[in-house]
Amino acid sequence: MIADNIVHFARVLRGAGLGLGPDRVLAALAAVELVGLQRRDDVHAALSAVMLERHEQQPLFDAAFDTFWRDPKLREQMMTLRLPKISGRGEEQGPPRANRLAEALSALKAPEPPNPAHPTAKEELQFDTHFSFSDRERLQKADFETMTTAEYELAKKLAEQMPLPVDPVRRRRHEPAASARDGGRLNLRATLQRMARQPHTLTPLYMRPREETPALVVLLDISGSMDRYSRLMLHYVHGLMRRALKVHTLTFGTRLTNITRCLKERDPDVALRLADEQVQDWKGGTRIASSLEEFNRLWARRLLGANAALLLVTDGLDRDEHGDLSAAAAQLHRLAHRVVWLNPLLRYEGFQAKASGVRALLPHVDRFLPVHNLASLADLGAALRSAPVAPQSLLH
Amino acid sequence: MSLTLPESVDAVIELLAAENYVCDRQLATALFLSLKLRRPLFLEGAPGVGKTELAKTLARALNTQLLRVQCYEGLDVAQTAYEWNVARQMIEIRLAEAVHDTDREALTRNLYSRQMLIERPLLQALTQTRSPVLLIDELDRADEPFDAFLLEVLAENQLTIPEYGTVVAAEPPITLITSNRTREIHDALKRRCLYHWVGFPSVERELDIVRLKAPGASERLYRQVVEFVQRMRTLDLFKSPGVAETIDWTHALVALNTLQLDPASVQDTLGVLLKHQDDLVKMQNGDTAKLLDELRAKALL
């Protein structure tokens, strides 16, 4: 009887998005057997110890536990009513993969050349109205166009070949080195193992610290003035994630949203659609200072460990009366191994740091990547290849 | 010789209370299950809420050895599990050469024998005659490859050494893993453990803890301290003070012969509670006065 209930309970939790394998169900049975059924809180504690793996799951679990162990008949309703659906796979309604699918289908009928039309043409018309900032909170959706085939191919190529905005860092793990000359140290253990195999030779083996690309955290400004570039940058970040790098992505406009999980989806169109659903403040105002403060407080220590680098994508146009941008940026600089600032809003060569937000940010970045006329992924690639600008030189 | 383990959740609470560790029922249940099911216990929570202390107390209460792996980036097998004593192996080879020993089989067997192994905590945990408490502290500070290395030890209580064979624990260790969540630990590792989030204690429980750990203050001061700290945790601080900080603060106030909180004594000792300059500035800019006023309103001051 109790076994049946636990199995049902596990199924309810699984429906709500918890990853519960049969091994956990067995462990749950054993756990309940051990603590007994005398006290409700013991059963609760036992089941949560066995079934949870993250603190965030606790409220969901509590809600499910309360309802389930009161009246099992409620569980049908609960599954539909009380628990938020976290599944996010979206198999039910066919995702609109319009452009590439339509292209693929039409290619069967008439071999039209893929239309690398300006995806930003429509937006450019509205650009003047969007090129303004405010800290009014305006909640809206982005409605990204799906990718054309040409874009898709280009994005894939760029993600694989484009230089990374961050340099590799030296780790404390070792890799084999050819000789002592390129920074190698004698690896006694490996040398001896080699000797055991070939007793009459002595071939010293060397090792040196391994260099790795650090984890990358992308902070993406999605406010109105950055609207033209959000889609492009999201495609770029998605490409980086596909390249098996550790990338965490957060967007900010008037609020900070972590969209890392959305971008884990393999298909770029699905990934962007999921991100669009999750983020509430597309094309709204900008609160850079408060967003950076919030990031420092809630996320920095979780994401910026192990020499992680931070890529800040923003135009630096801030209208935030509540926060101190300079202090927030300074703290961010202390928390991250490297801060790289990619500023896409420079459409002329003689850039001068005039805006107060830009002046506040510049002293606290290690590398400044100005992008002139960013209209496509190819432009972004060119920018990443160009020589970095020393942030200090722009301040005078 | 095996340990005598507590037989119920209440017995766990009593066992820890005897060693001055105040523990809520939920944590006791998780610990009880971990002891009974022989599964590692994965403790996550803010720094200073007693995760490491639990392991130390448990080892004392069960009267067994505590083996500790303090994690940091680049931690590898040689530092945590075992290492071949290469210097001794070399000498062994040299000696064999000197006496013209040509039995290569015997030499190899000798070179990779148990005496040539230097045991580090993980291997030690498997070779004790009495189950030790194995504490893997701040696992989030180690890098991901180390998580994967732990899987075998945690799930099977065994360790495979390629040159030697598999060491299986006769008396499996009681394993506790702590993490401050500076990164997410891989699900494969969490799957093999029981999970418990150690939160900040309630007012009453924190009072119990402070009375036990920082004796010498008046009941009035204890209550003021705990209420003050609890209220501080609701502020938007970069790092909320943990229980460890509450205890330190009480010690500091007792050392300064403070009878009750006032703006000056709080200001002077704030560095014990808060370790971030931004937080200190925030508190100094009026929040201290506000909290003290609140305490006064509750008639605690």
Q: What is the pLDDT of residues A330-348, one digit of tens each?
A: 989 998 988 988 887 665 5
- In this prediction, residues A69-83 reach a mean pLDDT of 55
Q: What is the pLDDT of residues B223-270, one digit of tens each?
A: 999 999 999 999 888 889 999 999 999 999 999 999 989 999 999 999
CB contact under 8 A, A45 and B183: no
pLDDT at A83: 47
For residue A201, what are the CA distances in angstroms to A112, A195, A215? Answer: 67, 7, 42
Cα(B196)–Cα(B25) distance, rounded to whole angstroms?
12
Residue contact B90–A52, C-beta within 8 A: no
Q: Which structure tokens are listed for B252?
A: 């500091």
What pLDDT is stored for residue B86 in this prediction?
87
d(CA A101, CA A104): 5
Cβ B25–A42 below 8 Å, yes or no?
A: yes
pLDDT above 50 for A86: no
A324 touches chain B (CB under 8 A): no
Q: For residue A389, give the nearest of A90, A98, A165 by alpha carbon.
A: A165
Contacts of B238 in chain A (CB under 8 A): 296-297
Q: pLDDT above 90 covers what percent of chain B?
A: 61
Main-chain phi, psi angles of B29, to 5 degrees: -65, -45
The partner residue sitting opposite B183, judged by closest CB among A54, A193, A302, is A302
Q: What are phi and psi of B226, to 5 degrees?
A: -65, -45
Provide the pLDDT for residue B34: 95
**B76 to A27: CB separation less than 8 angstroms, yes or no:** no
Kindly provide the ipTM of the predicted complex, given to two decimals: 0.72
Q: Looking at chain B, which residue has its C-alpha nearest residue A29?
A: B37
pLDDT of residue A103: 57
The CATH code that applies to domain A153-163+213-395 is 3.40.50.410
Sheet containing B66-70, strands listed edge to edge, beginning at the edge strand earlier in sequence: B66-70, B133-137, B174-179, B41-45, B194-198
Which range, of A54-68, A81-95, A263-277, averages the lowest pLDDT? A81-95
* Max avg pLDDT among A243-247, A357-361, A385-389, B165-169: B165-169
Question: Which candidate from B34, B44, B143 shows the least CB-CB separation from A55?
Answer: B44
Cβ separation A305–B33 shorter than 8 A: no
Domain boundaries defined on chain A: 2-81, 153-163+213-395, 171-212
Q: What is the mean pLDDT of chain B?
A: 91
H/E stretch holding B267 reads helix B263-273
Strands B82-84, B117-119: pairing is: antiparallel
Check residue B76 and give its pLDDT. 83
Place of tokens 């809206």: A140
Mutation for A interface: B84, B176, B183, most A CBs within 10 A: B183
Q: Give the confidence band of A234 by pLDDT, cuts at 50, 70, 90.
A: confident
List C-alpha distances in Å: A273 to A90, A265, A270: 11, 10, 5
pLDDT score, position A120: 40
- Greatest mean pLDDT among A28-32, A121-125, B283-287: A28-32
* B146 → chain A, closest CA residue: A173
* Inter-chain CB proximity A303 and B183 less than 8 Å: yes
Whole-angstrom Cα Rg for chain B: 24
pLDDT in the model for residue A75: 52
Q: What is the pLDDT of residues A149-171, one digit of tens each?
A: 777 777 777 767 777 777 888 88
Q: Is B86 in Cβ contact with A188 (below 8 Å)?
A: yes
The whole-number pLDDT of residue A125 equals 34
Among A348-352, A389-393, B159-163, B284-288, where is mean pLDDT lowest? A348-352
